[in-house]
Amino acid sequence: MAHHLLPSIPTTLALILLFLSSTLAQNALFTEPLQILFAGKNITSGDLTLSLSHDCSLILYKTGSPVLDFNTSVPSSQCALFIDIDGQLLLVPDTERLPVGTIGALTYQGRYALLFIDGKLGIFGPAMWTNGASWPYYSDHHHQIRQSRLSSGYSDYLLFSGEKVNGSADGEVVVAENGKLSAVITSRCTLAVRFNGSVPVWDTWPESESPEKCQLELKSNVLHCKLQWSLSDQ
């Protein structure tokens, strides 16, 4: 049995009230804001459906036929499924204050999402970004940082498809951070990676001398779910 208490749910009565009042996510679940799948409800994408029953049975269907049973059923009349900040799916029946089942490995704390991607169901997060670094070393007060540490990093900054982040002509806007590495929108409407706040690691081009408006947008219309970003100087 997992030892994770439900966030802000001190009693079983509060849990039942939450069952009655929470909003259902139709095709995804997120940790923040907290979204919950209730018994009798589904998460659907194309011909795939993840269904939760009143006895906490969680089953994945394809075109109406079961393809994966998570074997999580327990005696109960109501059940809830959500993702915690450790990247695990938790199942809570109305008869318990603690989760009776967990799915997924304990991992980094952050914001997570349960999504269907390219016909597969998975838990995604924290946000992962890559800076395209091609230099083998960078020096920071006589300490050398290897390229493998510069190439990618975990971040709690999330940008979902269709969302936009505005740049600023007055300075750089941080869109992701990992220790001393940061991804920023510059005042000249480029996307850049900085080490220790000022050392340039990677920049996009071309740049604009005096942009009136600059936005970073993550687009979703890319095959095989490859992430695509764009900067627009408007």
CATH code, residues 12-124: 2.90.10.10
Strand order in the sheet with 164-166: 164-166, 214-219, 228-233
Query: What pLDDT is stored for residue 50 in this prediction?
Result: 92
Query: What pLDDT is stored for residue 219 in this prediction?
Result: 65
Mean pLDDT across the chain, nearest whole number? 69
**Type of residue numbered 102:** T
Whether the Cβ atoms of residue 90 and residue 72 lie closer than 8 Å to each other: no
Least confident of 69-73, 107-111, 139-143: 139-143
Question: Is pTM beyond 0.75 here?
Answer: no
Q: What percent of the chain has pLDDT over 90?
A: 5
pLDDT in tens, 31-88: 877 888 999 999 988 888 999 999 888 999 999 999 988 888 888 888 999 888 888 8
Name the residue ranges covered by the structural domains of the chain: 12-124, 130-233
More confident residue, 107 or 219: 107
Asked if pLDDT for residue 147 goes beyond 80, the answer is no
Quickly list DSSP for the chain: ----PPTT--SHHHHHHHHHHPPPPSS-EETTTT--EETT-EEEETTEEEEE-TT--EEEEETTEEEEE-----S-S-EEEEE-TTS-EEEEETT-SS-SEEES-----S--EEEEETTEEEEE-SEEEE-----SEEEETTEEEEHHHHSEEEES----TT-EEE-BTTB-EEEEEETTEEEEE-TTS-EEEEETTTEEEEE-S---SS-S-EEEEEE---GGG--EEEEEE-
**Type of residue numbered 218:** L
More confident residue, 175 or 13: 175
